[in-house]
Amino acid sequence: MGCDHEPKNPDNWRLYHLLELEQPVTAKQVQWTFRKVTLRHHFYQAYLVLSDVDRKSLYDALGEDAVGFIHSGSWGPLMHLIGSRGSVCFYCGSMLLAFITLLLFFLFLGLRVDDHTSWSWLAVAAPLFVFVIVAVIITALAVIVSLFWRLPREEGMRFVERLPAVGNFLATVLYAVFCFLVATEVRNDPTNASRKFTSYFALPIIADVVYYLSSLVWRWPRRVRLQMEIGLNNPNRFLCYGFFLLGWLYLGVSIAQWVLLGRRIDQRIQISWYVTFIPFCFRAGLRVVEAFMRSMVKRTIGVKTAMGLAFDTLGAFFFNGMLLVSLYFVAVRITRGKEEVRMPLALIPVYVALVYLLFAMIFTAVYLLRKNVISEREERLNNLKWTPTDLPVGSRGGPTLLRDLDTGAVDADWDAMDDDDAGSSLVFRAEKEGSEDYEDFDSAAEEDFFPNVVESEAAKTPYGVSAPPDEDAGPYAGSNTPTGTGSEVRGRPPVGAVHRELHDPKTDVARFDSAASGYGEEGDEEEEEEEEDEEGDDYDDDYDDDDDNRIGTSMSSSPTSSAYFTSSIHSVKR
């Protein structure tokens, strides 16, 4: 046990302090602590989000959804260029424009299919062209910022984390080219005599392959698991690998969807339109499953309740269900003609969904801008009230350790505590000479608080004391050392200190004579007992006088103090 008191090296505390460890510690404990402290709390991610005023305001308003927005491949890099408020305005504005253009496109499409208007197909597809052009511009800016801007690289964004932005840009470009080619082909060949749509549908297939392969970066199981590891929770393996599996399922369903649709339009396969639209149904089901898994991730980290999980899942189900209902009516319209179902009526669920998203985006934009203004005002007020604490001149900048609380106690020695010099005060602060403050600890008033608790003598012994016994200390419990007769310890309590009588030739000879003569007469015994009592009283007085000079302890003042200490006589007699 002596190794516990060896002085520690004051130069190797920093790395242990960073991991909240205290020596001695093993390498395995360091690995476990690093996993618990660093990975499960995501200190650096929290610093990147909360250290910036704009990002902090966005996180306070949206919660965990803002984390995905900030670290996304498309919108996250733009925050370095235009800030949080600019990103929110740009995002909401682009989404509003996208919903409006899509709403106009489907409205024009329904009117043109049923011959309610004689517009050209290029005019009908004009809103769609605006949508894809805006998407190409946004994704191009994201790629430029993520690849060539200095701040994302300085914040630790790796090259693999920039792949989603590149994948989004390439997919958007391919979809834009596909829209222009299809619109041109419909205008030049309304009857589809050339049968070129199958080759055109290769573009959306390639776009989906690029998009979903690049999305595997944030769908990677280890990345998802680290996002869910908060505290000591155990993430579900289904959630860790589910997003990665969904990426491949999306890719397979997308390929089947575009292949069937292109071949059915070119009439290379003779199947019903209901069968042609089956991959769309599977894709909608995968979206519902993904919405459920996203809510489960938030519930795992404690930011989503069971009610919120049910609301998100049911919302995704009804939203995708409306689109499937509209798709069914479109299949009925193509199969049975406009006499059965009008195309504008078949697209009503699509109109409802787009109008809902339009109003939701307007509300989101107003809410986020208002929260941003409030957060900036609170930030300024809190900064005015807060004064940073500077380190004192000459400070080493490290934490205050236990050994720094009393610099004079570093070299203190337990064995020197009984000495009457000034160094002993480093261990126990001694009171002034002649003070009776220590007597309060042995008073009867304080002993009544714990009447049944008997403090062991080992608890009063300083840790590590291994000096030889005192000359005036009695034998400890269980010892076979012979003691004096009953007359010698008469009048002293058994729990007190047992003192050996000083050597007196007169009393020793008298005791020997009385023992040899059969203990003598009764009068001689009484005289000897009276003499012994007087000597004991004189010894007690001397002992009390010496005890007043103790340094806050009831132990012997001998330099070679024993590990078996007993209470003083005067305190026990009181």
Query: What is the rounded average pLDDT of the residues 384-388?
Result: 74
Give residue 192's pLDDT: 64
| Sign, Cα dihedral of 541, 542, 548, 553 | negative
Burial of 125 (0-12, 13-18, 19+ CB in 10 A): buried
- The confidence score (pLDDT) of residue 58 equals 81
**The pLDDT of residue 446 is above 50:** no
Residue 201 has pLDDT above 80, yes or no: yes
Among 401, 396, 299, 360, CA closest to 17: 401
Q: How confident is the model at residue 28 (pLDDT cuts 50, 70, 90)?
A: confident
Higher pLDDT, 389 or 459: 389
Continuous segment of H or E residues that includes residue 183: helix 163-188
> Which pair of structure tokens corresponds to residue 80?
């370095």
Mean pLDDT, range 437-452, rounded to an integer: 48
Q: Lowest mean pLDDT of 16-30, 114-128, 222-236, 388-402, name the range.
A: 388-402
pLDDT in tens, 375-385: 888 888 887 88
User: 527: how many CB neighbours lie within 10 A of its CB?
Assistant: 12
CA separation for the pair 115, 375 (Å, rounded): 53
Q: Which of 465, 566, 485 is nearest to 525 (CA)?
A: 485
> Which backbone phi and psi does 7 adopt, to 5 degrees?
-65, 135
With contact defined as beta carbons under 8 Å apart, do 338 and 104 qualify? no
The band of 538, judged by pLDDT with boundaries at 50, 70 and 90, is: low
User: CA of 488: how far to CAs of 161, 338, 455, in Å?
Assistant: 90, 125, 27
Q: How far is Cα 342 from Cα 327, in angstroms, rounded to an integer? A: 13
> Does the pLDDT at position 99 exceed 60?
yes
Domain residues of the chain, as ranges? 42-219+360-383, 220-346, 409-475+487-573
* Pairwise CA distance, residues 245 & 207, whole Å: 19
Q: What is the pLDDT, as a whole number, of residue 251?
A: 94
Instruction: Please give the pLDDT value at position 536.
Output: 54
User: What is the 3-state composition of the chain as percent helix, strand, coil, each rounded to the nearest 5?
Assistant: 65, 0, 35
On the 0-12 / 13-18 / 19+ scale of CB atoms within 10 A, 74 is buried
| Alpha-carbon separation of residue 470 from 284, 445, 501 (angstroms) | 89, 31, 14
**Distance in angstroms (rounded) separating the CA atoms of residues 467 and 373:** 72
Q: What's the whole-model pTM score?
A: 0.60
Q: Give pLDDT tens digits for 271-306.
A: 899 999 999 999 999 999 999 999 998 888 888 888
Q: How would residue 120 be classed by pLDDT, with cut points 50, 70 and 90?
A: confident
Q: Considering only 55-64, 218-227, 360-369, which range has the smallest mean pLDDT? A: 55-64
Give the pLDDT of residue 442: 47
Residue with more model confidence, 412 or 259: 259
Cα–Cα distance, 293 to 243 (Å, whole number): 8
Residue 336 φ then ψ, to 5°: -105, -10
Q: Is the pLDDT of residue 226 over 70?
A: yes
**pLDDT of 519:** 46
C-alpha 44/C-alpha 12 separation (Å) is 24
- Residue 508 banded pLDDT, cuts 50, 70, 90: low
Map 371-437 to HEC letters.
Answer: HHHHHHHHHHHHHHHCCCCCCCCCCCCCCCCHHHCCHHHCCCCHHHCCCCCHHHHHCCCCCCCCCCH
Q: CB-based contacts of 284: which residues, under 8 Å, 6+ apart?
A: 320, 321, 323, 324
Q: What is the pLDDT of residues 466-499, one digit of tens each?
A: 444 444 444 544 444 444 444 444 444 454 444 4
Place of tokens 């309060």: 440
**387 Ramachandran zone, left/alpha/beta (phi>0; psi -120 to 50):** beta
**Residue 197 confidence (pLDDT):** 81
Cβ-contact 483, 475 below 8 angstroms = yes
210, 174 contact by CB (below 8 A): yes
CB 558 within 8 A of CB 471: yes
Q: Calculate the average pLDDT of the chain.
A: 72
Judge whether 557 and 418 are in contact, CB under 8 Å: yes
pLDDT band with cut points at 50, 70 and 90 for residue 96? very high
Q: In terms of Cα–Cα distance, which of 152, 151, 150, 176 is closest to 164?
A: 152
Cβ atoms of 284 and 324 closer than 8 Å: yes
pLDDT at 290: 94
pLDDT band at 535 (very low <50, low <70, confident <90, very high): low
The structure tokens listed for 320 are 């995708």
Whether the predicted pLDDT of 416 surpasses 80: no
Over residues 390-416, the mean pLDDT reads 47
Pair 155, 146: CB distance under 8 Å: no
Say if residues 74 and 139 touch (Cβ distance below 8 Å): yes
Q: What percent of the chain has pLDDT over 70?
A: 58
> Looking at the predicted structure, is the pLDDT value of residue 79 above 70?
yes
* pLDDT score at 108: 92
pLDDT at 1 over 50: no
Round to whole Å and give the CA distance between 266 and 196.
Answer: 7
- Give the mean pLDDT of 46-61: 79
Q: How far is CA 214 from the centre of its chain?
A: 29
3-state secondary structure of 337: coil
Rounded Cα–Cα distance for residues 567 and 6 (Å): 31
Q: How far apart are CA 493 and CA 498, in angstroms?
A: 9
Of residues 357, 277, 355, 363, the one with CA closest to residue 107: 355
What whole-number distance in Å separates Cα of residue 343 and Cα of residue 106? 10
Residue 409 is predicted with a pLDDT of: 44
Asked if residues 80 and 152 have their Cβ atoms less than 8 Å apart, the reply is yes
